[in-house]
Amino acid sequence: MTEIRVRESLSEPGVVVNPDGGGLASRALLLACRGVVRPLIRHYPIHPVTMPLASTVVDGLARLRPHPAGVEREGVQLNGFRMEIVRPAGARRALRDGAVMYMHGGGFFICGLDSHRPVAAALARRTGLPVLNVEYRQLPSTPIAGSIDDCLTAYRWLLRHGADPARVVFAGDSAGGFLTFATALRAIASGLPAPAGLVGLSPALDLDCEAKRDYVNIGRDAYIPLSAMEQMVRYGASPAAQDGSHGTVHRIGQHGNGRGAEMPQHLRTRGVGQCGNGRDKGGAAPHTDAGYGGLDPALSPVNGDLAGLPPALLIVGEDELLRYDCELMARRLTAVGVPNSLELWRGQVHAFMSIVPGLPESRAALGRVARFVRARIESERAARTA
């Protein structure tokens, strides 16, 4: 078994926690993604007509995986979508003792319970807690706002069935990382209590693709091409997409002063961080002009009212395109006093811990997630008994 040397503490934002990089298996995965997966994603036409085909293929492949060992599953059917409670085998802990609500990734149009059961099971085994794996509705049947609706419904279900919000942690990868933060913001705006913590694994947190055009990792990411994100946003977050199903955009809150910290110099690729429209996307107000389909900035979690959020853990590959989102979120959380930790993983692909949970690096990352979850739940329990 490959030994992963991981820093146990973070002395500054965005610290690389595995300075030795990835092992042979991770390198092979990186090469496969760069040579096969990224070109496939770049050339696959993401369109409402083609989305169901991609979803069917991914679901079929996911069902070929053996069921994870050491866990028990219980299905839950809600109005329009389903969920699954994954518990450590033989565990007797109830939802009120603590739970993780997990939102899968997949660009808002692929993946589901089958594809993300392994990572949900890994978290259940490592935390000793039940994990609610949510299979929210996706494109093309509903826009991104509809996915947020379903995740909020899942949280309400947890609370109705005895879960203590102070012992619930939201977690998700990629699009699910977006939903992790968006659901927490919507919950608070709806008058619900905030969860105890948030975990974003390679999360997409800013839907404004223009903001990423000058980012240094745009050519380094081995998995996600910017063009794929643009297509996903076009069909899932534009006003036309919202009008097609819900009629309105659910605003999850506006960033307090509309400004974030500037993009650090080492993360710029030309000029002084200017994007194609001449605006500084690190320090200027969120993109609101009509040049990008009239995208409502309030749909992106980075632009939400972050002050009420609980502590957050962000994990992302050092060379990922979505490192931009994570760094922007970390800066804005810090600016409003929300404790957060941003971990950069060297030599790892997008959402590596959910794609292949069995990799040594994935196990190490999920171990850190489990420690964060336990610390959040135990700290809330201690605060109540103090």
Tokens of 90: 């033989």
Q: How many CA atoms lie within 13 A of 305 on its CB side?
A: 11
Distance CA 136, CA 144 (A): 10
Residue 172: strand, helix, or coil: strand
How far is residue 343 from each of residues 118, 201, 206, 210, measured CA to CA in Å?
22, 10, 18, 24
Distance CA 74, CA 78 (A): 13
Q: Residue 83: is it exposed, middle or buried by C-beta count within 10 angstroms (0-12/13-18/19+)?
A: buried
Distance CA 357, CA 109 (A): 21
Place of tokens 């293929």: 57
Distance CA 138, CA 119 (A): 20
Task: Please give the torsion angle defined by the CA atoms of residues 369, 375, 380 and 385, in that order, rounded to the nearest 10 degrees.
Answer: 160
* Residue 5: CB atoms within 10 Å: 9
| Side chain identity at residue 285, one-letter code | A
| Residue 238 annotated to the active site | no
Of these residues, 26, 115, 174, 362, which one is catalytic? 174
Distance CA 246, CA 238 (A): 12
Distance CA 340, CA 326 (A): 11
Place of tokens 């960033």: 255
Tokens of 223: 């998995």
Residues with catalytic function? 174
